[in-house]
Structure 1
Amino acid sequence: MGLDLRAGREEGRLPGDPWPSWSYLGFGQFRRRLARHIGIDLEQMHGFGGEGDWSTVSSPLRHLLDHADNQGELTVEQAAELAPALQTALTEIGQDLEPGDDPAWDYDIRAGEELVQLLELCVRENVPVEFG
């Protein structure tokens, strides 16, 4: 059991759709790495045990970081902001690692790239990204 993200259209997932997925633990680690990359300690933020205010975070990655793991959605507007920021973060984080250095990151990079593809698909189709 884990987290799956999908296009929020009536007919659901279609063949060929990107389908990024993580275990809940893995998704938490992925988000912590993204947060560190932009200078945020998630444990200090509201929703992760701290009092930090998400409205002070300017990075579009906040849409993914300040979100429930297993429910809700990202709007088309949030997806449009998030896609290029996530792609940039994945590239920058990955520049410091060789394939095989960090097996968890090797998985995260593939799932993260699928998430970027899903975000772009949802923007093109004007549908939200659903968490489930």
Structure 2
Amino acid sequence: MGLTLYADRPDGSQPTDPLPQWSWTGFSLFRRALAAHINIDLDQMNGFGGGTDWDTVSSPLRHLLQQPDDSGYLEPEQVTELAPALRAAVTALSENDPEGFLWTGASSNGRSAQGLITLLEMCAAENLPVRFR
């Protein structure tokens, strides 16, 4: 069991949507790598044991980083802001992963990250929220 993200369509359909999935551990590592990429120590943030408020973070990645692992959603406006920021972050992280262990399409994490980027871009184009399950 783990986390699945999906387009929250009004009719509940998911005809061709990617369904990016992570194990709980895998998503935690993914999120920590994204946070480190923008110089955030998650342990210092609200929701992770610290007291720093997410309003102090200017990066659009905050929308993904501050979400609970097992519930919640991203509003369409957040999705639109997050999609290009996540694409840029994953691209930068993959360029610093010469063996391709973590971020390339050859890895589970890389495939899930690319699926999430595709889902976010599709939801941004259709003005849909993304749901965490």
Scaled by the length of structure 1, the TM-score of the pair is 0.92
Change (3 A) 1:74 1:9: same
**What displacement does 1:108 show?**
1.7
Cα gap change, 1:13 to 1:21, in 2 (>3 Å): farther
Question: Which deviates more from structure 2 when the two are superposed, residues 72-81 or residues 15-24?
Answer: 15-24
**Partner deviation per Cα, 1:73-105 (whole Å, 9 max, x = no partner):** 100000000000000000001101124444899
Q: Is residue 76 from structure 1 mapped to residue 40 from structure 2 by the alignment?
A: no
Matched, 1:123 2:131: no
Cα 1:117/1:55, change in 2 over 3 Å: same
Distance 1:41 1:8, change over 3 A: same
Secondary structure of 1:28 counterpart: helix
Gaps of 5+ in 2: none
CA–CA separation in structure 2 for the residues paired with 1:39 and 1:73: 24
Query: For structure 1, which segment, 102-111 or 23-32, has the greater mean C-alpha deviation from structure 2 after superposition?
Result: 102-111
- Runs of 5+ unmatched residues, structure 1: none
Q: Secondary structure at the match of 2:118?
A: helix
SS in 1 for 2:107: helix
Name the CA distance, whole Å, in 2 between partners of 1:36 and 1:13: 35
TM-aligned CA deviation for residue 67 of structure 1: 0.7
- Matches of 1:2 and 1:101, distance apart in 2: 21
Please show how residues 92-107 of structure 1 align to structure 2 within 5 Å: 92-102=92-102, 106-107=107-108
Greater Cα shift, 111-120 or 93-102: 93-102
Partner of residue 29, structure 1:
29
Q: TM-score, normalised by structure 2?
A: 0.91
Count of residue pairs the alignment pairs up: 132
Cα distance in 2 between the residues matched to 1:58 and 1:51 = 17
Query: Alpha carbon RMSD of aligned pairs, Å?
Result: 1.8
Mapping of 1:1-20 within 5 angstroms?
1-20=1-20
